[in-house]
Amino acid sequence: MSSSDSENVHASSSEEEDETPSVNRKGAPEPVDIAVQNFVPENGEDQGLQQQQLQQQQLQQQQLQQQQLQQQQLQQQQLQ
């Protein structure tokens, strides 16, 4: 009885030991992956939008500056 009991104890304990790391291996990365998947595209989209907005602002500023320069040049030509 004692030998079979000890075998059962060993078997159950070894099963638990085998299960827990596999659960940890499966369980731990999954939430991380999900978080990464959720965060990465959002951040990427945000960065992309911000860059587009910045580029648009820069283009608008350049266009404004060019218009102002053209107006100044026109005024100077008219004055002359």
For 30-58, what is each residue's pLDDT tens digit? Answer: 555 555 555 555 555 666 777 788 888 88
Q: Residue 2 and residue 16: Cα distance in Å, rounded?
A: 21
Say how many domains are in the chain: 1
The residue count of the chain comes to: 80
Q: What is the pTM of this model?
A: 0.35
Cα angle: 28, vertex 29, 32; to 5 degrees: 100
Determine the distance from the C-alpha atom of residue 49 to the mean position of all C-alpha atoms in its chain, rounded to a whole number. 14
**Residue linked to tokens 């070894």:** 14
List the domain range (segments joined by +) for residue 31: 2-79
Tokens of 28: 């731990």
- What percent of the chain has a predicted confidence (pLDDT) above 70? 40
What per-residue confidence (pLDDT) applies to 6?
56
